[in-house]
Amino acid sequence: MPWTVQEFPSVPRLVVQPRNSSHMGCFVNVIPICKLVLVRRCFHKPILNVPTLRPSSRLCKPSRLFLVCSSGRLDLFYHWLTRENVYMPKIKLDQNKDGLRGVVAVEGIECDESFLKVPRDLSLQVTEHEECTMSEFVDPELWSQENWYVKLSLKLLKEKYLGKLSLWKPYIDILPHALNTGLVYWSSSELAQLQYRPLIEEVKINQYYREALYTRVFESLSSPVRVWLQNEKENVFFWALDMVQSRAFGIPDVGNKTYALLPMMDMLNHRVNSQTHFLYDSIANQYEMKTYSKLSPGTDIYISYGPLDNDHLLHFYGKLILSYVFFTFIS
């Protein structure tokens, strides 16, 4: 695939690369030394003929993912962000014209202006080679065998388990209660309506993987945590896994890449041609979001997760972007 190099206004301490996708989810890559952004451009053939999809409850039923949370939880979240020195004077969470919860400008934002800054200490993160520091929660042997997204999911699961004792409770309370729009939650009969065997087979493999992963994780958790999981109405581990795979940021470091959940920053929805970029300020030790186009009050603010194929969007998010039919599956 060709790469297009884009130069941005010179800011010596700030560098950025847009989101890229991995098989198990999406994450933002930040390059700490380069001053250029590499943008991948893909031209694929369509994944499927969308009009051939038959009516399905999965396709029509609204998800709790798309609802703005209660004003009480939202106020607590804003208070928490302020207390933790998050800079966001010109934006808020709101419901956009598509009914999605997202970030909206409440004041005009100038070109090249940083509109969101989050201290790195506020991130919930894990490194690739990080040793287990939660032996009272999960067996360190399992920890050492799993990938980064499982480790970060376990960290999020622990904070969920701690409840009011968790530093991140206001953030956890603002997250979607469920991310049940992805194809892994579809039944075999619903998947058959896609009429596209390569994607159906990929989803079934992922469904099997998730069930096997849950068995391994459950057996490795401490007894009180297992009891807590069994008493929950929904599978909280899958919730944590979904949150990580759909929201995590990847930050390269010398020999040990970091993956993080970043409060408020991960609330921006995807748009492939977004002019919003994610940056890391190594001097202030904080993450920033900056726009390279002027935004007027009331504008929905997006960030690009990278050139995601429509098969990826449908698989993990349960949606297609019809206006970008060239970002689709390669058979």
Which of 322, 317, 249 lies closest to 288, judged by CA?
249
pLDDT in 10s for each residue of the chain, 331 residues: 333 333 333 333 333 333 333 333 444 444 332 222 222 222 222 333 333 333 344 444 444 344 456 778 999 999 999 999 999 999 999 987 777 789 999 999 999 999 999 999 999 999 988 999 999 999 999 999 999 999 999 999 999 999 999 999 999 999 988 767 788 988 999 999 988 888 899 999 999 999 999 999 999 999 999 999 999 988 999 999 999 988 898 887 767 789 999 999 999 887 777 888 888 888 999 999 999 899 999 999 988 776 667 777 777 776 666 665 544 444 4
Q: Name the H helices within the chain.
A: 57-60, 71-83, 140-145, 148-162, 169-174, 188-192, 197-220, 223-231, 236-247, 310-317
pLDDT of the residue at 138: 98
Which of 83, 149, 161, 96 lies closest to 301, judged by CA?
96
Burial of 109 (0-12, 13-18, 19+ CB in 10 A): buried
pLDDT of the residue at 182: 81
pLDDT of the residue at 277: 86
CA distance 313 to 328: 9
CA distance 104 to 268: 9
CA distance 26 to 316: 10
Which amino acid belongs to residue 205? I
For each of the domains in the chain, give its residue range(s) and CATH number, in order of start: 3-324 (3.90.1410.10)
pLDDT of the residue at 164: 96
In whole angstroms, how far apart are CA 267 and each of 93, 103, 116, 210, 236? 8, 6, 12, 25, 20
Task: For strands 286-291 and 91-95, give the pairing.
Answer: unpaired
Helix, strand, coil shares, percent, the chain, to 5: 35, 20, 40
- The model's pTM: 0.78
Whether 200 and 117 have beta carbons less than 8 Å apart is answered as no
pLDDT of the residue at 312: 72
Which amino acid belongs to residue 105? A
For residue 287, give both structure tokens: 């993450």
Provide the terminal-to-terminal Cα distance of the chain, rounded to the nearest Å: 16
pLDDT of the residue at 194: 85
How is residue 156 annotated by DSSP? H
- Angle subtended at Cα 81 by Cα 89 and Cα 282, rounded to the nearest 5 degrees: 85
Whether 19 and 303 have beta carbons less than 8 Å apart is answered as yes
